[in-house]
Structure 1
């Protein structure tokens, strides 16, 4: 216990000593802080407060100075600015007036120098001064807010001077180029064209002192004024109308050149013995000769392009670089272009911005000239036969030489090849021309008369081209096809051979024009086999177009005749069948002789066959309907074959029967030797059947037939039976027609019905019953029980015998 108390005291004493030390340290720090605050901070704070007081004093002084400046200096500054602004405006007005006066002076000087130069015939200088005056006037007019009344007068003066200048240049142009045209400018006859002459007064004068302006000066002055384009355009049109186009269109014309001391003359001479068409080589030589003459005497000159001028003459154009290096041509004196040397002479190197008259003229007339050469020269030279295509290479070479010559004379640009492209595309043009000629020839045949016919038969030789044998490659193909056939089918016994006339078109008459049309198709396809692939396909399509055109043109063009004339309808029917017959094998005949495109099976016309057969059948059936209508109309005047005991009724019926037979005989004559025999017999049989069926219907419908009526009806029917077969005359040989007259029941469906009716008209009740034979006799095959009963009631009185007979008819 005592020990624990001792240790506590020791600890308290030790802690108390440590607290004394810390207290002493804290007291030192407090002293240090008090010294810093009151010995160092307070004096510095006092000095800062003094500085603040000084600054506030300076600020007050500044405010006083600022107020003085604003009150005194600003007033003087406003006065100075106002004076400066006024002086500036005055300077601008003076500068503007000075520039206007300068431009007016330039305008006046330019007008005076223009007048002086014009009197001395220095046209280039005069034109340049006019351009400078125009530039000055344009500058004056462009100044906004500054308008002078004198500007209108200056504009009028400039216009007067310009027109005066243009007038003088026009006179000089007319002196240089003189046209002597025929009296009637609209006349294009050969006699009038021979009178056309072109006189070029562009030769240098022999008298050195002659006051004649050089050609170059006139041309350059026109270019400066912008009038050269219109002059060249008029010259080009006259050149085309009276020289170039006549040389292309009239083979007998030949250019004649004549050079005199001061003039060069170009005129025409007409050759008496001239071809209908000139070859392209001859035309090119003539045109080239004309251009060579024009180039030598006129078109060789180089002129400065209208846009290639100094900017001071045309507002908006800058002075081009390199103009100073052209001092050899443009002297660096006023005026910039000397009137004595206005142009580069031919042969000097061309500079940028200069063109020849030939190039300018070419741009104006080449398009029209090339079209004329193509349509009036090259088109006519395209061969109409593929065998002549090789000879056309001469035309291509001549065209190329012609274009090179024109390019050498700078009449054409280097990239212009319109003529050569057309000439080189000869295959396409040949095909187009061939197709056009074929279509025109085909249409001419389609619109020709149908009634001009030719007889065709299986053993007749039709004038078609002989096809060449297929090549070796084709023979291999044929042999390959043959090997695919089953064994045994290749050897057919003689007893099983088909007739040589199998699948042949029967004998009939067709139009000569249709025969020629088919020949044209064969020749065109034969031409296609010898042509290039592209041409072959085009010609094949052309042949298809021919036949498609036939289906549209012929029925429309000949509609009225086909409707009114039975013979033409029959011929048209044969024409369509004839064409369809050839179309079946037309493509196959040329399959192995055409290009790979067509030989693959595309070369076929089979798809057109149904259309042609339908076309022929519809036309002929329409004519058959017309004839049937006429037959029924004639029989309608027979007064229903009733009351034949009346003489008037009998005469009417007799007349109707004879009219029908007359109509049938007339048809038999117009269709004789025209229609195929089987078609003829079917057609005549159908018409005769119509008449017989109508007579049977009318008689069967009678309710009362007296004995006299029956006799007269029988006599009328006998006329039909006796004379009806006589209308079957398909052949010219009467003896051969007997066969078809005996086969009338084959073609007339109601023939036996009609004969049974005649039997009924003359038979008694028992005979009618016997003919019926309980529904198994010949009468039962032609009439129904109701019809027979009706006839019995009409022919016989109501008796027990009639009743018994009627009872047996069932």
Structure 2
């Protein structure tokens, strides 16, 4: 037994150790061989996929080509993860994968372009009434459309293609429908070529008024209905075969925000009435807006909860008030900038004695007030100011018959009109408020400056004003009869005020204006010429010896005669006498 035990320990143990070592070597060789086989199998599969890909692309089987590309990429990723990224063949296959991906994208792009054919003006040229007839979109209903769309979804370019398509559709088709009122969509559905063409025709309308919302809704629905053929009704499928969404819904997601904003800005804003009497007529626009959004939801173009147009249209009272207030402020500013010195008579005449009660006849009513005590006395005011006051009264009357919210806004607008008046009129007409400024200086300086200094200072200012007036009027090249009459009336008022402005305070002694204001004589002679006949001017010139010749040169007098009187033989004779 001992001998047998020793033999087992000696011979058999060494053989077992040798067998175990051989087993490990064979196992490693087997694993290596299996790995090589796996790599070769993967490479064979990749080669087969590359061959199939070329066949799929040639036969326009883009969905199978996309699946082949995705599977090819997955197999190469496994080889790279296993550490074979440095193999030359793997590097070559990765390059081949990129080339094939670009090839597929190129063919898909061409297929998409063949299904959506655009004819547009120059890329940088906006769509206007002159070139809108050149715009055309042709949608071809290809049998291979579903394969192409799903392949684009598989490779991840469908969204970007739909975004570009939606941007073009908005810029060249939908936006012109909203902004141009003189066009109408021209839709042609050809059954033979299985295509739909959308273009425009220019209507023979001369008005450039904003588009009518109802007409815009009708044209927009007609275009979207024409485009909602087999192509936009296609549903994309995910990688697991689950249905995602239609192209129509995807397009609406990209187009609807901008389209709704465009309709509000260029259409609904202008359709808001400017008179409260027309608010009831706006109900037709609200109804049309509601129907428009309902039609879009029914076709699947917009989501069930999307209704920005209807929300805007229903707030018509708010928008009416805002628009009305804005227009009132603009109109008030225009009135404030009109000529200040165009005046008219306003106020009430003096109340007749027969309309005034005799206090002796009504001793019981000691609090009796005359009917005309609060009446505006008859006076002359600027025509623009009267128009501004009438505008304020009309606005307040309209506010009284409006909703409380609108009435409050209109009331504040009237208040803002008068606040703006205090800022605009003194600033805009500051060059015309000369007499007002001189009167203000008279009130300020009278109790501050000594009489002689006041007279000298005021005379200097008035002299500057008169010199400026004489210079400006003399430089005019054409003075109509109405202008000459208005100038004479306006400057005559200044002539009457100047003596009172020069006289300081309560001084009763008159101040000799001719001795203190150098330009007084020139100013007086200018007034004379503005209201005189041609013969009177010639007589006052008196062959260069009259009072007119003392302050004006012959060229100045001739220039004024040419400006005031028409070119006749009498004028030529008069000009010949001025030398």
Q: Aligned residue for 1:198?
A: 137
Q: Aligned residue for 1:575?
A: none
Change (3 A) 1:718 1:155: closer
The structure 2 residue matched to 1:264, chosen from 172, 193, 196, is 196
Change (3 A) 1:255 1:689: same
SS at match of 1:172: helix
Q: d(CA) in 2 for partners of 1:90 and 1:397?
A: 82
Q: Kindly report which structure 2 residues correspond to 1:297-308, keeping only aligned pairs within 5 A, or say none.
A: 297-304=230-237, 308=238
1:296 and 2:229 correspond: yes
The one-character-per-residue Cα deviations of 1:244-277 (angstroms, maximum 9, x if unpaired) are 1111111121111222220322221121136523
Q: Kindly report which structure 2 residues correspond to 1:605-624, keeping only aligned pairs within 5 A, or say none.
A: 621=440
Q: Kindly report which structure 2 residues correspond to 1:626-637, keeping only aligned pairs within 5 A, or say none.
A: 635-636=455-456
Change (3 A) 1:659 1:96: same
Structure 1 gaps of 5+ residues are 1-74, 205-212, 311-322, 324-351, 461-490, 571-618, 639-654, 675-679, 697-714, 721-810
Kindly state the Cα deviation for residue 86 of structure 1 after the two structures are TM-superposed: 8.9
Change (3 A) 1:719 1:295: closer
Change (3 A) 1:264 1:146: closer
1:446 and 2:446 correspond: no
* Kept in 2: contact 1:251–1:274 (CA 8 A): no
Q: Kindly report which structure 2 residues correspond to 1:28-177, keeping only aligned pairs within 5 A, or say none.
A: 101-142=40-81, 147-177=86-116
Q: Aligned residue for 2:345?
A: 455
* Kept in 1: contact 2:136–2:197 (CA 8 A): yes
Kindly state the Cα deviation for residue 373 of structure 1 after the two structures are TM-superposed: 0.5
* Kept in 1: contact 2:349–2:378 (CA 8 A): no
SS at match of 1:436: helix
Q: d(CA) in 2 for partners of 1:357 and 1:105?
A: 38
Change (3 A) 1:81 1:280: farther
Q: Aligned residue for 1:219?
A: 149
When normalised by structure 2's length, the TM-score is 0.69
The structure 2 residue matched to 1:402, chosen from 292, 296, 312, is 292
Q: d(CA) in 2 for partners of 1:153 and 1:504?
A: 102
* Kept in 2: contact 1:634–1:659 (CA 8 A): no
1:180 and 2:119 correspond: yes
Q: d(CA) in 2 for partners of 1:365 and 1:245?
A: 11
The one-character-per-residue Cα deviations of 1:670-710 (angstroms, maximum 9, x if unpaired) are 58779xxxxx99x97564225959x99xxxxxxxxxxxxxx
Q: d(CA) in 1 for partners of 2:501 and 2:395?
A: 41
Q: d(CA) in 1 for partners of 2:155 and 2:424?
A: 61
Change (3 A) 1:492 1:417: farther
Q: d(CA) in 2 for partners of 1:172 and 1:659?
A: 85
Kindly state the Cα deviation for residue 358 of structure 1 after the two structures are TM-superposed: 0.6
Q: d(CA) in 2 for partners of 1:142 and 1:620?
A: 96
Q: d(CA) in 2 for partners of 1:422 and 1:450?
A: 41
Larger radius of gyration between Structure 1 and Structure 2: 1
* Kept in 1: contact 2:66–2:154 (CA 8 A): yes
Kindly state the Cα deviation for residue 408 of structure 1 after the two structures are TM-superposed: 1.4
The structure 2 residue matched to 1:542, chosen from 401, 409, 413, is 413
Q: d(CA) in 2 for partners of 1:378 and 1:106?
A: 62
Q: d(CA) in 1 for partners of 2:23 and 2:222?
A: 77
The structure 2 residue matched to 1:381, chosen from 253, 271, 291, is 271
Q: d(CA) in 1 for partners of 2:183 and 2:452?
A: 71
The structure 2 residue matched to 1:425, chosen from 302, 315, 323, is 315
Q: d(CA) in 1 for partners of 2:216 and 2:407?
A: 31
Q: d(CA) in 1 for partners of 2:506 and 2:382?
A: 31
Q: d(CA) in 2 for partners of 1:154 and 1:284?
A: 54
Q: Aligned residue for 1:523?
A: 394
Q: Aligned residue for 1:46?
A: none
Report how many aligned residue pairs link the two structures. Answer: 467
SS at match of 1:243: helix
The one-character-per-residue Cα deviations of 1:342-384 (angstroms, maximum 9, x if unpaired) are xxxxxxxxxx542111111111111111110001111111111
Q: Aligned residue for 2:8?
A: none
Q: Aligned residue for 1:287?
A: 220
1:689 and 2:508 correspond: no
188-197 vs 89-98, which deviates more? 89-98
Q: d(CA) in 2 for partners of 1:245 and 1:535?
A: 32
When normalised by structure 1's length, the TM-score is 0.51
Q: d(CA) in 1 for partners of 2:73 and 2:224?
A: 37
The one-character-per-residue Cα deviations of 1:166-206 (angstroms, maximum 9, x if unpaired) are 2222222222221122357514321210221222221x6xx
Kindly state the Cα deviation for residue 445 of structure 1 after the two structures are TM-superposed: 2.3
Change (3 A) 1:503 1:158: same
SS at match of 1:501: coil
Change (3 A) 1:88 1:417: farther
The one-character-per-residue Cα deviations of 1:710-741 (angstroms, maximum 9, x if unpaired) are xxxxx979999xxxxxxxxxxxxxxxxxxxxx
Change (3 A) 1:635 1:529: closer
* Kept in 2: contact 1:197–1:268 (CA 8 A): yes
Change (3 A) 1:282 1:494: same
Q: Aligned residue for 1:243?
A: 173
The structure 1 residue matched to 2:160, chosen from 213, 230, 251, is 230
Kindly state the Cα deviation for residue 287 of structure 1 after the two structures are TM-superposed: 0.1
Q: Aligned residue for 2:185?
A: 255
* Kept in 1: contact 2:442–2:504 (CA 8 A): no
Q: d(CA) in 1 for partners of 2:443 and 2:364?
A: 45
Q: Aligned residue for 1:416?
A: 306
Q: Aligned residue for 2:255?
A: 365
1:514 and 2:422 correspond: no
Change (3 A) 1:444 1:176: same
Kindly state the Cα deviation for residue 414 of structure 1 after the two structures are TM-superposed: 0.9
* Kept in 1: contact 2:233–2:247 (CA 8 A): yes
Change (3 A) 1:134 1:457: same
Kindly state the Cα deviation for residue 623 of structure 1 after the two structures are TM-superposed: 8.0
The one-character-per-residue Cα deviations of 1:751-783 (angstroms, maximum 9, x if unpaired) are xxxxxxxxxxxxxxxxxxxxxxxxxxxxxxxxx
Structure 2 gaps of 5+ residues are 1-13, 351-361, 471-487, 517-579
The structure 2 residue matched to 1:499, chosen from 363, 367, 370, is 370
Change (3 A) 1:445 1:161: same
Q: Aligned residue for 2:422?
A: 551
Q: d(CA) in 2 for partners of 1:159 and 1:83?
A: 45
Q: d(CA) in 2 for partners of 1:497 and 1:672?
A: 42
* Kept in 1: contact 2:85–2:91 (CA 8 A): no
Q: d(CA) in 2 for partners of 1:242 and 1:543?
A: 43
* Kept in 1: contact 2:442–2:501 (CA 8 A): no
Q: Aligned residue for 2:477?
A: none
Q: d(CA) in 2 for partners of 1:499 and 1:404?
A: 66
Kindly state the Cα deviation for residue 98 of structure 1 after the two structures are TM-superposed: 5.9
* Kept in 1: contact 2:149–2:158 (CA 8 A): yes
Q: Aligned residue for 1:277?
A: 210
SS at match of 2:175: helix
Kindly state the Cα deviation for residue 457 of structure 1 after the two structures are TM-superposed: 2.7
SS at match of 1:256: strand
